[in-house]
Structure 1
Amino acid sequence: MNNRRNTAPAKGRKKPVRLRRSRSFLVTLIKLGLAFLLLWIMVAVFYYLWALTFDISTIGQMPQRSSIYDRNGTFYSRTVGENRVVVHYDQVSPNFVNALISREDSRFYEHHGIDPLGIARAAIRNLLFGGMKQGASTITQQLARNSFPLGGKTFNRKFLEAAMAFRIEMEMSKEQILELYMNRIYFGSGLYGVEAASQSYFGCPASDMDLSQAALLAGLIRSPNRFSPLNNMDASITQRNVVLGRMVELGSITRAQLEKAEEEIITPSQKNLVNPLNSWAVDAILHELEQVVALDRIDTGGLKIDTTIDAGLQRAAEVSLSKRLHEVEQGKEFRLQHHVAKGAEPEEPLQGALLAIDNAGGGITAIVGGRDFAKSKYNRALVAMRQVGSSAKPFVYEEAFRKGVITPETPVSDAPLNSADLPPNSRAYNPQNSDGTFGGYLPAKEGLVHSRNTMSVRIGVKTGLGDIAGAMEHLGLAEHIPRYPSICLGSFESTLRNLTTAYTALATGGRKLQPHLIEQVTDSEGTILYRASHGRIPTLDPTAARTTTALLTEVLTRGTAARSSTLGLKKPAAGKTGTTDHFVDAWFLGYTQGLTCGVWVGFDHPKTIMHGGYGAELALPIWVDVIQSAAADHFAAGPLL
Structure 2
Amino acid sequence: MKSRGPWAPPPSDPPAKPKSLPATSKSRRSSNFKPPAQNRKVAGNVALAFMAVLAIAVGSLSGLMLVYSVNLPQIQDLERYRPDTTTELYDVHGRLFGSFALERRVVLDYDGFSPLLRQAVISIEDKNFESHWGVNVFRVMGAVYHDITSKGRAQGASTLTMQLARNLFLSNERTAGRKLQEIFLSLQIEHNFTKQQIFTLYANQIYLGRGTYGFEAGSQYYFSKHAKDLTLPEAALLAGLPKGPNEFSPVVNPDRAFRRRNTVINAMLEDGAITTAQADAARTAPLGLHIEAPPNSLAPWFVEEVRRELERRFGSDRVHEAGLKVETTLDLDLQETANRAVLDGLAAYERRHGWKGRLLNVIAGGIALNAFKHPDWNGPVQQGSYIHGLVTGILPYQVTAKVGNQQVVLTPENWAWTGFKTAPEFLHEGDIVYVHVTGQDGGNLTGVLEQDSGTQGSLLAMDNSTGDVLALVGGRDFDMSQFDRATQSERQTGSSFKPYVYTAAVEEGATPGEMILDAPTSFGSYTPHNYEGNFLGEITLEKAFADSRNIPALKLAQRVGIHKVIDTAHRFGVTSNIPPFLPVALGSVEITLMEHTAAYSVFPNDGIRIAPRLIRRVTSADGIPMTEPVPEVKEVISAKTARTMMVFLKSTIEPGGTGQAASELHHALGGKTGTTSDFTDAWFMGFSPSLTCGVWVGYDSRQSLGDKETGAHAALPIWMDFMKTAIAGKPDEQFPGDLKGSAPAFATHVASAAAGKVGPG
TM-score with structure 1 setting the length: 0.89
Deviations 1:545-569 (A, max 9, x none): 1110122111101343343247x42
Q: CA deviation at 1:45?
A: 3.7
Is the 1:522–1:529 contact (alpha carbons within 8 Å) kept by the matching residues of 2?
yes
Within 5 Å, give how 1:431-450 maps onto structure 2.
431-450=528-547
Q: Distance in 2 between matches of 1:311 and 1:469?
A: 36
Task: For residue 294 of structure 2, give the secondary structure of its aligned residue in structure 1.
Answer: coil
Within 5 Å, give how 1:129-528 maps onto structure 2.
129-150=150-171, 152-249=173-270, 251-253=271-273, 255-256=275-276, 259-260=279-280, 262-263=282-283, 265-272=285-292, 274-277=294-297, 279-331=300-352, 348-404=453-509, 406-419=510-523, 427-528=524-625
Deviations 1:451-486 (A, max 9, x none): 111111111221222211111112222332222221
Task: For residue 524 of structure 1, give the secondary structure of its aligned residue in structure 2.
Answer: coil
Q: CA deviation at 1:11?
A: 9.8
State the match for 1:96 in structure 2. Answer: 117
Deviations 1:602-641 (A, max 9, x none): 1111122222121111111111111012x54266861223
Is the 1:595–1:635 contact (alpha carbons within 8 Å) kept by the matching residues of 2?
no
Aligned residue type for 2:698: G
Task: For residue 135 of structure 1, give the secondary structure of its aligned residue in structure 2.
Answer: coil
State the match for 1:573 in structure 2. Answer: 669
Task: For residue 685 of structure 2, give the secondary structure of its aligned residue in structure 1.
Answer: strand
Deviations 1:316-360 (A, max 9, x none): 222122222222222259979xxx985678894222111111112
Q: Is 1:556 the equivalent of 2:576? A: no
Q: Distance in 2 between matches of 1:516 and 1:334?
A: 41
Q: Distance in 2 between matches of 1:126 and 1:43?
A: 21
Q: Distance in 2 between matches of 1:76 and 1:236?
A: 29
Q: Distance in 1 between matches of 2:98 and 2:256?
A: 31
Aligned residue type for 1:510: G
Q: Distance in 1 between matches of 2:137 and 2:289?
A: 41
Deviations 1:72-99 (A, max 9, x none): 1122233353222111111111222222
Q: CA deviation at 1:252?
A: 4.7
Which ranges in structure 2 are unaligned for 5 or more consecutive residues?
A: 1-18, 29-34, 358-416, 421-425, 427-449, 738-761
Within 5 Å, give how 1:45-124 maps onto structure 2.
45-52=66-73, 56-57=77-78, 60-124=81-145
Q: Distance in 1 between matches of 2:529 and 2:296?
A: 48
Structure-2 change in CA distance of 1:13 and 1:416 (3 Å): farther
Is the 1:98–1:252 contact (alpha carbons within 8 Å) kept by the matching residues of 2?
no
Structure-2 change in CA distance of 1:277 and 1:316 (3 Å): closer
Task: For residue 558 of structure 1, give the secondary structure of its aligned residue in structure 2.
Answer: coil
Q: Distance in 2 between matches of 1:235 and 1:378?
A: 40
Task: For residue 365 of structure 1, give the secondary structure of its aligned residue in structure 2.
Answer: strand
Task: For residue 317 of structure 1, give the secondary structure of its aligned residue in structure 2.
Answer: helix
Task: For residue 291 of structure 2, give the secondary structure of its aligned residue in structure 1.
Answer: helix
Aligned residue type for 1:444: L
Is the 2:547–2:657 contact (alpha carbons within 8 Å) kept by the matching residues of 1?
yes
Is the 2:516–2:539 contact (alpha carbons within 8 Å) kept by the matching residues of 1?
yes
Whose helix proportion is higher, 1 or 2? 1
Q: Distance in 2 between matches of 1:430 and 1:48?
A: 86
Q: CA deviation at 1:132?
A: 2.7
TM-score with structure 2 setting the length: 0.75
Q: Distance in 1 between matches of 2:652 and 2:239?
A: 65
Is the 2:233–2:287 contact (alpha carbons within 8 Å) kept by the matching residues of 1?
no
Is the 2:97–2:295 contact (alpha carbons within 8 Å) kept by the matching residues of 1?
no
Is the 1:473–1:481 contact (alpha carbons within 8 Å) kept by the matching residues of 2?
no
Structure-2 change in CA distance of 1:334 and 1:266 (3 Å): closer
Q: CA deviation at 1:385?
A: 1.1
State the match for 1:611 in structure 2. Answer: 707
Structure-2 change in CA distance of 1:582 and 1:274 (3 Å): closer
State the match for 2:694 in structure 1. Answer: 598
Moved more, 300-309 or 117-126: 117-126
Aligned residue type for 1:272: E
Is the 1:113–1:140 contact (alpha carbons within 8 Å) kept by the matching residues of 2?
yes
Q: CA deviation at 1:582?
A: 2.0
From 627, 633, 636, give the equivalent of 2:723: 627
Task: For residue 280 of structure 1, give the secondary structure of its aligned residue in structure 2.
Answer: helix
Is the 2:135–2:162 contact (alpha carbons within 8 Å) kept by the matching residues of 1?
yes
Is the 1:85–1:196 contact (alpha carbons within 8 Å) kept by the matching residues of 2?
yes
Moved more, 91-100 or 389-398: 91-100
Task: For residue 255 of structure 2, give the secondary structure of its aligned residue in structure 1.
Answer: helix
Within 5 Å, give how 1:579-590 maps onto structure 2.
579-590=675-686
Moved more, 479-488 or 468-477: 479-488
Q: CA deviation at 1:599?
A: 0.7
Q: Distance in 1 between matches of 2:78 and 2:640?
A: 61
Structure-2 change in CA distance of 1:61 and 1:327 (3 Å): same
Aligned residue type for 1:215: A
State the match for 2:751 in structure 1. Answer: none
Structure-2 change in CA distance of 1:113 and 1:208 (3 Å): same
Q: Distance in 2 between matches of 1:417 and 1:182?
A: 78
Is the 2:170–2:178 contact (alpha carbons within 8 Å) kept by the matching residues of 1?
no
Aligned residue type for 2:518: D
Structure-2 change in CA distance of 1:479 and 1:121 (3 Å): same
Is the 1:333–1:611 contact (alpha carbons within 8 Å) kept by the matching residues of 2?
no
Structure-2 change in CA distance of 1:333 and 1:252 (3 Å): closer
Structure-2 change in CA distance of 1:483 and 1:639 (3 Å): same
Q: Distance in 2 between matches of 1:361 and 1:547?
A: 23
Is the 1:245–1:258 contact (alpha carbons within 8 Å) kept by the matching residues of 2?
no
Q: Distance in 2 between matches of 1:255 and 1:486?
A: 82
Moved more, 182-191 or 239-248: 239-248
Q: Which is higher, the Rg of structure 1 or of structure 2?
A: 2
State the match for 2:388 in structure 1. Answer: none
Is the 1:383–1:495 contact (alpha carbons within 8 Å) kept by the matching residues of 2?
yes
Task: For residue 603 of structure 2, give the secondary structure of its aligned residue in structure 1.
Answer: helix
Aligned length: 623
Q: Distance in 2 between matches of 1:559 and 1:609?
A: 24
Q: Distance in 2 between matches of 1:534 and 1:161?
A: 53
Q: Distance in 1 between matches of 2:577 and 2:293?
A: 46
Moved more, 155-164 or 349-358: 155-164
Aligned residue type for 1:141: M
Deviations 1:91-116 (A, max 9, x none): 11122222222322233333443333
Q: Distance in 2 between matches of 1:637 and 1:282?
A: 33
Q: What is the percent sequence identity of the aligned residues?
A: 32
Q: Distance in 1 between matches of 2:293 and 2:642?
A: 48
Q: Distance in 1 between matches of 2:628 and 2:114?
A: 36
Q: Distance in 1 between matches of 2:452 and 2:235?
A: 52
